[in-house]
Amino acid sequence: MAEKDKLGEAKSQDLTKMLMLILASIIIMFVVFAGVNYVIMENLITQKINTLSLTKEDMGEEEADGDEIQKGIIVDLGDFILNLCDEAQKKYLKVNVAIEVSQKDTDFPAAEETKSGGGHGGHGSAPAAVDPMEAIQKEMNQYKPAIRDAVITNLSSKTSAELATTAGKELAKEQIANDINAILAGEREVLRVSFGQFIIQ
One domain, residues 39 and 82 = no
One domain, residues 39 and 92 = no
Domain-located, residue 55: yes
Task: Judge whether residue 27 has pLDDT over 90.
Answer: yes
Task: Judge whether residue 136 has pLDDT over 50.
Answer: yes
pLDDT tens-place string over residues 141-178: 888 889 899 999 999 898 888 888 889 889 999 999 99
One domain, residues 81 and 173 = yes
Q: How confident is the model at residue 112 (pLDDT cuts 50, 70, 90)?
A: very low
One domain, residues 136 and 57 = no
| 136: containing domain | 72-111+131-200
Rounded CA separation 23/15 (Å): 12
Q: CB of 197 within 8 A of CB of 95? A: yes
One domain, residues 101 and 21 = no
Residue type at 127 in one-letter notation: P
Opening angle at CA 162, ends 161 and 168, nearest 5: 140
Domain count, the chain: 2
Task: Judge whether residue 123 has pLDDT over 70.
Answer: no
Domain-located, residue 116: no
What DSSP state is assigned to residue 88?
A: S
Residue type at 194 in one-letter notation: S
Domain-located, residue 60: yes
One domain, residues 82 and 47 = no
Q: How do strand 92-102 and strand 190-200 relate by DSSP bridges?
A: antiparallel
One domain, residues 18 and 83 = no
Domain-located, residue 50: yes
One domain, residues 84 and 155 = yes
One domain, residues 92 and 160 = yes
Q: CB of 192 within 8 A of CB of 72? A: yes
For the beta sheet containing 190-200, the strands, ordered from the edge strand earlier in sequence to the opposite edge, are 72-83, 92-102, 190-200
More confident residue, 108 or 17: 17
Q: How confident is the model at residue 69 (pLDDT cuts 50, 70, 90)?
A: very low
Rounded CA separation 131/137 (Å): 10
One domain, residues 136 and 49 = no
Rounded CA separation 64/137 (Å): 28
Q: How confident is the model at residue 109 (pLDDT cuts 50, 70, 90)?
A: low
Rounded CA separation 165/168 (Å): 5
Lowest mean pLDDT among 47-56, 81-90, 99-108, 120-129: 120-129
Domain-located, residue 126: no
One domain, residues 63 and 91 = no
Q: What is the CATH number of the domain that holds 151?
A: 3.30.479.30
Domain-located, residue 119: no
Bridge-partner residues for 100, per DSSP?
74, 192
- What does the pLDDT average to over 16-27? 90
Rounded CA separation 145/140 (Å): 10
One domain, residues 51 and 79 = no
